[in-house]
Structure 1
Amino acid sequence: MMNSSTDKTKTEYETLEKVLLDNDFFEIAIREEQERMRRAREAAIEANKPKLTDEDLAQAESTGYAQGLADGKQQATEALRGDLNQHLGRLIDRLTYLDEIKREYLRITYTASFKLLTKIVEHLFADISTNYTEEVLAHALKTCLEQAVTDLPLVVRLNPATLEYARKIAGYEEKMKRFDGRIKFIADPTITAGDCLLEWDAAGVDVRLSHAMADVKNLLTRKLAGIQREELPLPPDPVTAAPEESAAQEAAEAEADPATVEAAPEEPAGQTAPEEPADDAPLPDAFEVVPDENDKQG
């Protein structure tokens, strides 16, 4: 009984061992078959690959170089375009304020010029009033007398004795006729004998230097206060001024050569050509003058 059981166990063991051994060989066979199929597939792929010659390699290298060069150029162009747009944008922004900057500098220049002119006039009048008072008054008196004799009525105040003596001079009436009543003699006892006092209507003109200085200073002050940035004339643009200069030059050449001057068309009957402005016509002021408060009250 014992032998039979032992034999059965031994037989089962051998059978199991054989199965396991067969499985090992089967796995090995599968792996070998897979490896063989892999090598066959690689060999087929290698056999189907195109054969690359030196010319093919050179052509591929040239194509790659050209493509890389084109890509590099495109990238560089885009980068340059971006930089240019950025800098041109800044430049355009600055050019937008160029006229304002010009007007600001013109305003500063005009202001400094008027202040300097005011100081110069003050010094001139101070020098005149100090060193040339008698000469200025003598010239003013001479001018007023000349105008009084020819145009303005003149009143002469004399001492009664002096007036009586003058009327007794031979030819007094004849000499006074040419003044046509514009000179009137009045006897004034307050006048010293031999002296005279002349009176005339100066039409509101004050010859005193202090008043003249005040008028000039007020004028310059109003001009200085009237300088507005938007009213200042800017220098002409060279780009737009070039065609005008060319046209003016052509007109001057045509005027110099009479043969090139075309005959002017005749005006129709009953019509007249518009009058040209006079050469001495006043030019428009360069800046706006703000009225002074004292002028408004006056």
Structure 2
Amino acid sequence: MSRLSKPSKFLFDKNFNVPEVPKETAPPEPVEPMMTVAEHERLIAAAREDARRQGHAEGLMEGRSGEERRLVDQVGDLVQVVSRLLGALDEAREETEKDAVTLAFLVARRLSAHLIARNPLGETVALVSECLGPLRQAPHLVIRVAERDVEPLKARLDPVVREKGFDGRLVLLGEPEIARGDCRIEWADGGIMRDRKAVEAQVDLSIRNYFEAKAAARARTRQAAVAGARETEA
């Protein structure tokens, strides 16, 4: 005999007009995203490649910075070497020029002394001749020369005085301190002097000033080059 299921009890107290409120259920647990092994390995490989590229770029930057520093140091050293070489060349050239000028000045002094010894009154007569024209109206003219040259000078000046038309009084005086070839010409409101030693001293001073100015300019150029090299290194 088959068993029959027990019939469900009919509930007369249940109100079917009121909608049934669903029972509260817990929210579903979040599902963690999943990826394939191949995708995971691809992402890891991409991250490694990015890290490698970044490291390579940083290495290149560091290497470039180091190379630039080495180049700057080499340029600074080269500038200093070139500056020293140029300074040495300038000094050698200046010494050569100084020797040449000194030799030329020595030759000129000796030649001048030789010409004066041969014709001690030549320059004096030429200077007096130049003065007599503008000073022909002067009341007197005093010429001071070496004592031994008074009489010879008078003989040579007489025709010059007549040629220039000088009507004043011409006075010739011998002075022991005046060297042969030198003279002093004096008139009422002025005078002129020829002094070979003074001229030589002036020429010698001009030569010294010239080479001192060149040396100072070379020193300034060298200092500027060193300062530029230091700025480049900085």
Q: The TM-score by the shorter chain falls in which range?
A: 0.3 to 0.5
TM-score, L = length of structure 2: 0.43
TM-score, L = length of structure 1: 0.36
> Higher relative contact order by CA 8 Å / sep ≥ 6: 1 or 2?
2
